[in-house]
Every structure is written in C-alpha cells, then in structure tokens.
A and B are shown apart, each in its own frame.
Chain A
Amino acid sequence: MMSRTERAACLLLLLAAAVVTLYPLATLVAAALSSSGNSGGIAFSWHMSLSAFRYAWDNGDFSRYMLNTAIVTVTVVAVSTVIAVMAGYSVALAKPPGARWVLYAAVFGFMLPVEALIVPWYYQFRDVNIVNTYWSMILPQVAQSIAFGTFWMYVAFRSVPRSLSESARIDGASPVALLWRILVPTVAPAVKTMAALVFLWTWNAFLLPLVMVSNSSLYTVTVGLSSFQGAHFNNYSALAAGSCLAALPVVVVYLFAQRSFIAGLFAGSLVE
C-alpha cells in the first residue's frame, strides 16, 4: 500500500542508523586488530594482528582484571539470585504478615542511585576494615541486586496460578521443594532475565570499584581499563584491545540471551 520509494527511504534510514550505531564499535575492533604500538590514532589496516591483545592481556594486566571482575560478578549474580528468588516467593505467595514492607523497601532501594550510597558504604566498610577487598565490591552490589530482584521475582511469582502451589502443598511438598522444584522452573525466564541484568550491571560497575579498591591487583576490568588509559593513552591498539576484552563477555551474553535482556528493560517501567 506504500509506495516503493517510501519503503526504500525507510530501509535506507534504518540502515543509516545501524551504521551510526556500529561505526564506533567497528573502529574499536579495527584498532585492536592493528599492529601493536599504533599511536597514530584510529586507523583501518588490512594487516591484522593479535599482538595488541597479547600486550593488553600480559603487560596490561588484563588477565588479572578480568579474573577479578569474574570473581565479583559470578558471586553477586549467584548470591543475589538465590536470595531474591526466596524473597520474591515469600512476598508474592507465602505472604507472612509484614512481607509487603520488604517489597516496598526493595522497590525503594532499587530506585536509589549508587551515588547516594557510595559515601556511607565507604565509611561503613572502612570501620570494619573491608575496604580494598572483594567484599567491598560484592556486598553492596548483592544488596542492590536483591532490591531489584525481590521486586522482579515478586512480579513473576504473582503470575503463577495459585492452584499450582496449592496442589503441591496438599501433596506434602516442603516449602523448599515447592519453591525450587515446582515454582522456580515455571518462572525460569524471569530468573534468567534477572541474572542477565545483574550480570550486566555488575560487570559494568565503575564508581563502586573505583572508590572501594585502590590496590591495583584487585581492580575490576572497568577500573583497570580506565587506569590503563591514563598510562597508555597514546597506545591506541593496546587500549582498543583492552576495551574489546572488557566489553566482550557482556556482548557474548547479550547475543545469546538478548530476549532476556530486552524483557528486563521493562523493569524500570514496572516500578512506575
């Protein structure tokens, strides 16, 4: 019903937007694959080399940074997922008196910016001597992820038909078995989305590790990359390689679980 020109114009515009989106990322990959020590700015070269990656991994300590980030991220995702699933179930289905207040606290906590809590967190941790440890990066992010996750799982469990948990209970299933064997599998997509988002947020975190950790052997990849830029701002290929390493894990998870990521977007609008 639309004219061919209109179709063509539309497609052209969509493609142009895709080019604008991808161009910066393509220059990054191109610079990372150019030969190491390139200081002439971003440049496309047909001579591809992995030397910049090797340099970033070994000399740039990115192996260490990636390991630290993986330790923090995996711990935060695992711990907060388990705790949030339990809390979400409790608030949505078990409903002991007073549980609603936990839900309100979770929604409230989810809306608080890191910037508002970073100062008290720092002094709280300084008092118990855990600044400059993995704990100082893990604990606050577990708390924030629980705040989001409790609300997220509450929404998911609320949509589970009441008859499912009733019949399981009459069959004599213990609360733990009911939750993990029967309810969690039915809300698996929501759990997956939650885990994907917490993974993204934790891997990407910058202010928290920047403040908490001054010992470079504990740097996460974001802080490591930032300090690497300070020291190697002219070594474009090494910096680009480091950037690719930092970005890669989340991009891979995104490409495999993009539906989960996109479903999670609506978390923000649900709070409304």
Chain B
Amino acid sequence: MTALSNGPAAADTARGGRAPRANPPAAEATARARRRRRGREWLSGYLFLAPAVLFLAVLIIYPLGKAVQYSLQRWDGIGPASYVGLSNYTQIFTDPVERGSLVNLGILLVFYSLIPTALALAVVAMVRRVRVRGMGFFRVVYFLPQVIVTVVVAIVWTWLMAPSGTGTINGILHAIGAGPATGTPWLGSFSTALPAVGLIAAWLDFGLCFVLLLPGIQRIPPEIYDAARVDGADVFREFFRITVPMLRRDIGAAITITAVAALQSFTLIYQATNGGPGYATMVPGLLIYRDAFQLGSVGAASALGIAMTVIIFVLTFGIRALIERNA
C-alpha cells in the first residue's frame, strides 16, 4: 500500500534501477526480498478475499441491483414484466395501505427506540447514583428477551394480552379490582393493537438499551458529578447537564440499533397480529411479504424494500450527524 501511495517516483527509487544514487547491493537485495514478500502477501490476500467477494457479489450486490430493477417494473412473478418508471415509488405515498404502513412504522419507532432508550437511561442514571451490587445479574436478566426467538415472544404476548384468563394482563387487572372479568382484546382492537405491539417491542428492547448505556455511564468520572453537587446541582440538572451530554454517543448508538430493529419488525407483527385488525398494525416489512408472495406485486414489494433500505441509511447517518454536530 505504501509503495502505491508514495507515487511513481518513490516506487522507482525503491525499485533501484533508475534511481540516481545506486543502492548498496545488500540494501537492494533486502528491498527485492521485501517486494517479493509483499507480492506474495497480496496474492494470498486476494485468495483469502475471494470467497467473501463471491458471496457478497452474488448474494448481496447482484440481488440488490435486481431489486432496483424489479422496483421499476410491474411484474406478477410469472408472466412478462413491463417497465413502469417510478410509479411503484410514488405509490408508497399515494396508496393508503402503503402510506399507513409508514405511519405505523413511525409510531412503532417511538416504542421500539425512544421509550426503551429513555427508560434505560433513567435506570442507569439511578444505578450510578446508588451503586447497587449485583448489576451482573440484572444485566443478564434484562438482556434475556433479546435472545428469545421472536416467534416465541409473539406467542407468549398474544396469550398475555388475551381478553381474559388467569395470568393475563386483563386477568391481573381484574384480580386487583381494576378491570372487568373480560377486558379489552389488546392486540385485537383497532385503537389498542398498535400500542400493544409497541409495548411488546419496548419490553424486548429495554434490556438492549440498558446494556448499551451501562458501560458508558460507568465511564463518566465521579468527580464531574461531585463538582456539580458542590455547585448545588439537583438530580435533574445533573441528569440533563452531565449524564445526557456525556452519554451522547451511547444514546445515539442505542437509538440507531433499536430503530433499525423497528424497521425489521416483520416476525413480531406477522406472528402477533398479521397486520390486523384491518391494517391497524401493518408495517412495510409485512407488506413486502404480502405483495411479493401472496398478491403477485413484485414491483411494489421491491420498491418498498428499497425504500426501507433508504430509511435505514438515513436514520443511521442522520442520527450520527445530529450527534456529531452537537458534540
């Protein structure tokens, strides 16, 4: 790499041939040996890289190009395809179901990302003040939902959110005298289904945010807090003047990771509500599956997939830019 970046003149000198001052023979031999070694290293480098390049080219880059191509077509997956320009993209904003799925995604982002990050931030701030022992235990427990197969999570929560039954949310509310024997079907009614899915997501992501923020807050030197206390700062000033600014990057990471998870909520929604009731919990991921594999609208599905990709990139780099600018 250095030989290349030094430009042709330096490379010539290294090669020794046309250089004005002749290199001592020993140095020249060493240089030649080094060059040969570098050549061999590059060759083995390419060989080591080859399988990865093959997989990335055939199964990531090529299919992405295909997705872009499909997104400009009307195709049912079987017959001939016709070019339709950008209409599959404009349809994302004009079709009420597609637009609705984006609105739902926006609402879910709050539950997937902002609520767990805020909760976790409050809890780690409190943990820092009180220095509780046994944090290892809490960390392992809170993170557990992240490693449970998502289909299982959805199944358990559909039970817990059933209209009635011992142990369900409604059952517990009834037992403590806060609800009727048969309560709201949380995942089945239009007004509660989306927040109910959101609640499951918040349950899933709290531990992730907790584990992401904990090491960050433990890195903040205690002297900073001591100094603030001497200056008479209360808990809230401490939180907003020290904790939040010092954890800026960690908070950004937590929001980004959970927001990307929100975009990939297909499994949870498919299993818990299948987008219903009506389209109350429809999200782009589920719409892609339906359009492409059940309704034969390959073009519309591909356009939504590309749109999701764009949203992921905008979110990731947007959050980063926001955090760096306020640095």
A: residues with CB less than 8 A from B are: 2, 6-7, 10-11, 13-14, 17-18, 20-22, 24-25, 27-28, 31, 40-44, 83-84, 86-87, 89-91, 94-97, 99, 102, 105-106, 108-109, 111-124, 139-140, 142-144, 146-147, 150, 169, 175-176, 179, 200, 203-204, 206-207, 210-211, 221-222, 225-226, 229, 236, 239, 243-244, 246-247, 250-251, 254-255, 258, 261-262, 265-266, 268-269, 271-272
Q: How far is the CA of A169 from the CA of B70 in the complex (A)?
A: 49
The count of chain B contact residues (Cβ–Cβ below 8 Å) is 99
Contacts of B168 in A (CB 8 A): 41-42
The residue in chain B whose Cβ has the minimal distance to the Cβ of A124 is B63
Decide: B313 and A111 in contact? CB cutoff 8 A. Answer: yes
Q: B186 at interface (Cβ–Cβ under 8 A)? A: no
Say yes or no: is B257 at the interface (Cβ < 8 Å to chain A).
yes
- Contact across chains for B160 and A146 when beta carbons are under 8 A apart: no
Residue numbers in B under 8 Å from A27 (CB-CB): 156, 159-160, 167
Contact flags (1/0) for B157-172 with A, using CB distance below 8 Å?
1011010111110000
Q: Cβ of A272 and Cβ of B252 under 8 Å apart?
A: yes
Give CA–CA (A222, B253) in the complex, Å.
Answer: 29
B150 and A11 contact, CB distance less than 8 A: no
Distance in Å: Cβ of B30 to nearest Cβ of chain A: 12
Chain-A contact segment, one of B89-97, B174-182, B207-215: B207-215
- Given contacts A21-B141, A94-B41, list 18 more A-B pairs with CB under 8 A: A24-B156, A44-B166, A90-B46, A96-B41, A96-B46, A96-B49, A99-B49, A109-B56, A120-B67, A139-B59, A143-B55, A210-B289, A246-B152, A251-B147, A254-B147, A261-B147, A265-B212, A269-B257
Interfacial chain B residues near A226, Cβ < 8 Å: 151, 270-271
Q: List the A side residues contacting B256 at CB < 8 Å.
A: 268-269, 272
Given A24-B203, A41-B165, also A94-B44 (CB < 8 A): yes
Is A179 touching B48 in the complex (CB atoms < 8 A)? yes
Whether A229 contacts B264 in the complex (CB less than 8 A), given A87-B49, A119-B70, A203-B149, comes out as no
Asked if residues A272 and B316 are in contact (CB atoms below 8 Å), the reply is: yes
Given contacts A17-B206, A119-B305, contact A251 B148 (CB under 8 A): yes
